[in-house]
Structure 1
């Protein structure tokens, strides 16, 4: 087995006095897609915020290619090659589609992703490149958020609830683009409430329940009964 590109061991996370994660373990290998599933409040977004440096942790709780990074700032994490597509997209409302995408490339990391490649992946964004990003439909805004993250040429792409609030046909089109996104060895963590969708795009799944890992295993190896029990805690 290859060494993990990122390894998380015994991760705790707090918001003030409130503890949101308890001893979470997770590893992602190069080129692997790992799904993180769980109900609302399970700790999925907290996990993404911890990895991306938006929540500080013990340095050795998160290791990137063997290096402890849990205490680094968000900008330092991004420079290493970790990109987050945040829940709710969080686009810059005063900027156009293209300006939002360009901001994603400000790190100057070398790699295959540039404006032309993003427009090839999501042609509608090229058609609307001069429109304010927040004037787009929800699905198109999600494409911008994904494109902005890819413009940083990450080695690990984390996507937090990318299907939340979108129409099924839009979700289908976004997930159909995922093989092109990860097809060149990019690793990914996909956070989803939709169990079937998460299993369909990943090779490994981690289920969180009330801030703890309740189940982990191969996406094609776990039974629906096992997953349902871990997801709902029954």
Structure 2
């Protein structure tokens, strides 16, 4: 495996009295694309929210490029080079497409991603750059959410339910863009309900089941039987 960019050790996460993650261990290599799969409520989004600083964790539970970041704020983590494409897109409804993209650029990290680069990746956004973001289709809004994250020029990008609620043709177009996104060596973690799609774009896969890692392996070698056992908790 490439040198690690992210190491997670014994990560617990709670929403009040409800515990969502139990002792999760995970290592992501530099330039690696990893898939996280699991049923609804398995803890996938909680894991990404923890990495992005949207949930409080112990400082040493999440280490990024050798630095403990578990107790940092979300804006501090974004400044270090981690960007989240959140579930449900969460665009700013009062802002135009271009204004939403520029929000991502406020992190002011150097890198290849700019408005021009995002418009090259998703040309439809250039044509609609002055429109309110919420006037776009679901697929186009997802492109804005991805573009907003890229504008921060991250070294690690987190995709939470990248294809949720989108038509198959839109999902295909977004996944077709993925190689261009990570081509420069960017690392990525993709939370995805479509297991076949997740395996096709990743080098390794983790399965979460009720907040615990139930399977970890190379995407090209794990079997459907192993995934089914890990996904549904079948002994």
> Which TM class, normalised by the smaller chain length?
over 0.9
Q: For residues 232 and 136 of structure 2, what CA distance do their matches in structure 1 show?
A: 35
What residue in structure 2 maps to residue 183 of structure 1? 183
TM-score (norm 1): 0.99
Q: For residues 39 and 153 of structure 1, what CA distance do their matches in structure 2 show?
A: 31
Matched length: 234
What residue in structure 2 maps to residue 22 of structure 1? 22
1:127 matches 2:134: no
Do the aligned partners of 2:2 and 2:32 also contact (CA within 8 Å) in 1? no
What residue in structure 2 maps to residue 88 of structure 1? 88
- The 5 Å alignment of 1:1-234 reads 1-234=1-234
Aligned Cα RMSD in Å? 0.6
Structure 1 residue 196 displacement after superposition: 0.3
Structure 1 residue 228 displacement after superposition: 1.1
Structure 1 residue 119 displacement after superposition: 0.3
Structure 1 residue 94 displacement after superposition: 0.3
CA deviations over 1:19-68 (Å, ceiling 9, x no partner)? 00000011111110000000100000000110000000000000001111
Structure 1 residue 17 displacement after superposition: 1.1
Specify the SS of the correspondent of 2:98: helix
Do the aligned partners of 2:97 and 2:132 also contact (CA within 8 Å) in 1? yes
Runs of 4+ in 1 over 2 A off after TM superposition: none
Specify the SS of the correspondent of 2:4: coil
Do the aligned partners of 2:101 and 2:144 also contact (CA within 8 Å) in 1? yes
Do the aligned partners of 2:96 and 2:133 also contact (CA within 8 Å) in 1? yes
Specify the SS of the correspondent of 1:14: strand
CA deviations over 1:140-196 (Å, ceiling 9, x no partner)? 000000000000000000000010000000000000000000001000000011100
